[in-house]
Amino acid sequence: MPNCDLHCHSTCSDGLLSAPEVARRAAANGVDMLALTDHDALDGLPGARAAANDVGMAFVNGVEISIEWEALQIHILGFAFDLGDQTLNAGLASVRSGRIERARQMSAALEKVGIGGAFDGAMRHAANPNLISRSHFGRYLVEAGVCKDLRSVFESYLVPGRPGYVDHRWATLADSVRWILGAGGVAAVAHPGRYKLSRADMRRFLAEFKDLGGQAIEVMSGSHTPELVDTYARLAREYAFLASRGSDFHGPGESYVDLGKLAPLPDGLKPVWETF
Ligand code: AMP
Ligand code: MN
Ligand code: MN
Ligand code: MN
């Protein structure tokens, strides 16, 4: 089975390496096919593709779209779409547009619990200010000594019910799938095991995604335990979803799994990359 890594981030969103650096690191780690999937942005794709071409690694356009489904923040991956598609580009611009205002509100909320300077602090970590994200706030809170690492930041801050979390209107599930399919791409649910959904709600979500034309789910993910891999392999077979594999690498020292280092897909699944 080829070593395909179809989920990772560059400095165009909340990764620590530039897009060409991500591609070169993937190739050095033995990746045969890479998709760069920055949050809500396509700017890194041409540079990553050029670097992939230089080292002879297959490259697929990717994106990770932030959506809201029944008040939960969920991520939908798009693969192998036309980079110039106007509806997709306009849709992603609309998703990005609220991020700076949300960051100001997050900063104000942190100020109330005695953490000052978070907006400027987070912005210092954001190479692309339009993609200011909770990760950048997290890095600032670690730097400021508020938490010892990113994991504890996300336990104590920046998540629903904790200081620094601000509700946000993202795209809808229907929008995200329509944009990806309209641009000739394939839509996949990112790290399904990470969402706080009951089993029944997850099934309802997957059925709705399938009805809208969604084709794949990420079975192997840097944020899945072996038990979650089993669960989503079973659901992929049951719903006849294609299966994806992605590290969700954000940077050296920050991610649990490096590019290309996940276990292979379990048997009996149809890999999404066979359709590219
Ligand atoms: P945002 O798009 O601004 O809501 O930020 C979401 C990003 O925060 C995700 O893409 C992850 O990179 C990061 N993140 C979310 N939850 C965690 C967590 N528990 N640990 C580390 N990073 C997280
Ligand atoms: Mn991220
Ligand atoms: Mn994600
Ligand atoms: Mn991701």
From start to end of 124-235, where are the E strands?
186-189, 216-221
Closest residue (by CA) to atom 11 of ligand 1?
135
**What was the pLDDT predicted at 169?**
87
Q: How far is the CA of 29 from the centre of ligand 1 (A)?
A: 24
Q: How many CB atoms lie within 10 A of CB 97?
A: 11
Per-residue pLDDT tens, the chain, 276 aa: give them: 999 999 999 999 999 999 999 999 999 999 999 999 999 999 999 999 999 999 999 999 999 999 999 999 999 999 999 999 999 999 999 999 999 999 999 999 999 999 999 999 999 999 999 999 999 999 999 999 999 999 999 999 999 999 999 999 899 999 999 999 999 999 999 999 999 999 999 999 999 999 999 999 999 999 999 999 999 999 999 999 999 999 999 999 898 899 999 999 999 999 999 999
Q: Is the pTM of this model over 0.95?
A: yes
Looking only at the bridges linking them, the beta strands covering 186-189 and 216-221 are parallel
**What was the pLDDT predicted at 180?**
98
**What was the pLDDT predicted at 256?**
86
Closest residue (by CA) to atom 13 of ligand 1?
135
Token code pair at residue 77:
């991956």
- Say if CB 222 and CB 257 are below 8 A apart: yes
How far, rounded to the nearest angstrom, does the alpha carbon of residue 129 sit from its chain's CA centroid?
17
- Say if CB 137 and CB 103 are below 8 A apart: yes
Tell me the C-alpha distance between 95 and 175, whole Å. Answer: 11
Supply the DSSP string of 164-198, one letter for each residue.
Answer: T------B-HHHHHHHHHHTT-EEEES-GGGS---
Which ligand ends up closest to the CA of 156? 1
**What was the pLDDT predicted at 149?**
95
4-39 in b/e form (b: 16+ CB < 10 A) is: bbbbbbbbbbbbbbbbbbbbbbbbebebbbbbbbbb
Q: Which residues line ligand 1 (CB under 6 A)?
A: 14, 39, 66, 133-135, 150-151, 154, 250
Q: What is the dihedral of CA 180, 181, 185, 190, to 10 degrees?
A: 50
**What was the pLDDT predicted at 208?**
98
Gyration radius of the chain over CA positions: 18
Nearest Cα neighbor of 222 from 188, 198, 193 is: 193
- Cβ < 5 A residues, ion ligand 4: 64, 248
- Cβ < 5 A residues, ion ligand 3: 75, 190
Q: How far is the CA of 55 from the centre of ligand 1 (A)?
A: 30
- Of ligand 1's atoms, which has the minimum distance to the CA of residue 64? 10
